[in-house]
Every structure is written in structure tokens, then in C-alpha cells.
A and B are shown apart, each in its own frame.
Chain A
Amino acid sequence: DIQMTQSPSSLSASVGDRVTITCRASQSISSYLNWYQQKPGKAPKLLIYAASSLQSGVPSRFSGSGSGTDFTLTISSLQPEDFATYYCQQSYSTPRSFGQGTKLEIK
């Protein structure tokens, strides 16, 4: 099974900050990497698929990069609505494992 490890587990930042979250796979997954945002009490929402493709309707301040085993999600200028938990997920093979999540909090 492929293990996904995110860092950091939590992060405090301010509105307007640039933020980067990292996800590492235990083996190469090419570009089969997706990012989701989850707010309390809500279902996850797809942000980025195929490592760097922006899902329709997602603001352009979100971007993704990487391939192989190392990936990043970047938010270029944090907005108040971006404070949430972020998960990476690999779709290279089953089981479709998720990272443990990164909670982004207001500083």
C-alpha cells in the first residue's frame, strides 16, 4: 500500500500570507495526486487534480506542483475562507490513500 505523509500537520498563518503544504508518497505515483479542502461539518471539496490541474471554479490563488513522490499545494495569498483542513490523496493505485491532513488556522 502507498503511504501519504503531509507536512506540517498544522499551520498558523495570516490573511495575505503565502502558504505551502507538502505531501510525500512512499513510492512514485507519477502525477496521480489530488488535493482536497474540508471545512468543519462539510464534505471535502476537490481543489487540484493530477498534481497541478485546477478544478473548475477553484480560485487561481491555489496551485499544485510535483511529480513522483513529492508534491506541494500553494495558496498564494490567504483569504479568510481558506482556513480549513487540506488533504492530499493518491489515485495511482488502490487503496486510494489520503494524507493525514493539514489544519490551516488563523494566526
Chain B
Amino acid sequence: QVQLVQSGAEVKKPGASVKVSCKASGYTFTGYYMHWVRQAPGQGLEWMGWINPNSGGTNYAQKFQGWVTMTRDTSISTAYMELSRLRSDDTAVYYCAREGCSSTSCYLDYWGQGTLVTVSS
């Protein structure tokens, strides 16, 4: 069965960086785009971007360009999301999610369990 298992919670100081991992199993890792979505406490879902695990190509939301980096290691079926220059308002749960596609739409059909990143001095 498809599973996305994320790394554990992190506490970081303002200005630091964080790297969250997302290990995929149960499907061909390179066959599906991986998206990252975050959710601040009590807030809605915010799309950050995606990575094509096959080519390594990325597409970031404009808000995150220049300070998010999405990478992957196909040898261990793992995607990574690194956010730099952290601020307190980056405190959120970060999710990875696989994108599946039908003939008429694409959708996030499997999600990781989420990784809480807390930014605090």
C-alpha cells in the first residue's frame, strides 16, 4: 500500500533552516509528482510547490521562491523540502502529498502524516 512517512518534529531558531524528509513506499517513486503543503496553527492549507522525482524539476509558489528548495533521492525514494531563513510565522505543520492524475484532473491522493516545525527563539 502507498505510504508517505515524514521525519519528526523540529524546533528551530529564527534565521535557521529546516529540512523535512518524506519517504515513499508502495509505488514507483519516480512516477508521481510530490507536492508540499503547509498549515499554520488554526489556519488553512497553503500550497508550497512540487518536485518531479524523475527529473528533479521543481515548481515553487512565488511566495516561497528563493527560500524553499525541494530535492529528492531516488535511490531511497525520499523527497525533501528545505526552508531557509526561518521566521516565527513559518511555524506550521508541513505535509508532503503525492499527486495522482486521471484523464480529467490531478489531485493529491496520498499524504504524509505531517511534520510540525516550530520556530522560536
Contact = CB atoms under 8 A, between A and B. Distances in A.
Contact of A43 (B62, B95, B99, B104): B95
B47 A95 contact: yes
Given A31-B104, A32-B105, A49-B102, A43 B44 contact: no
Nearest to A56: B109
A46 B106 CA distance: 11
A50 B108 contact: no
A53 interface: yes
Contacts of B107: 34, 46, 49-50, 55, 89, 91
A45 B110 CA distance: 8
Interface in A21-51: 31-34, 36, 38, 43-46, 49-51
Contacts of A96: 35, 47, 50
Contacts of B113: 43
Contacts of A33: 105
Contact residues of A: prevailing secondary structure: loop
Contact of B45 (A32, A50, A55, A87): A87
Given A98-B44, A98-B47, A50 B105 contact: yes
Contacts of B46: 98
Contact of A94 (B59, B104, B108, B112): B59
Contacts of A1: 62
Interface residues of B, number: 25
A41 B49 CA distance: 22
Nearest to B100: A49
12 contacts: A36-B45, A45-B111, A49-B109, A53-B102, A87-B44, A87-B45, A94-B50, A94-B61, A95-B61, A99-B44, A100-B44, A101-B45
Interface of B: 35, 37, 44-47, 49-50, 59, 61-62, 95, 97, 99, 102, 104-109, 111-114
Given A38-B45, A49-B102, A95-B61, 16 more contacts: A1-B62, A33-B105, A36-B45, A43-B97, A44-B45, A46-B108, A50-B105, A50-B107, A89-B47, A89-B108, A91-B99, A91-B106, A94-B59, A95-B49, A96-B50, A97-B47
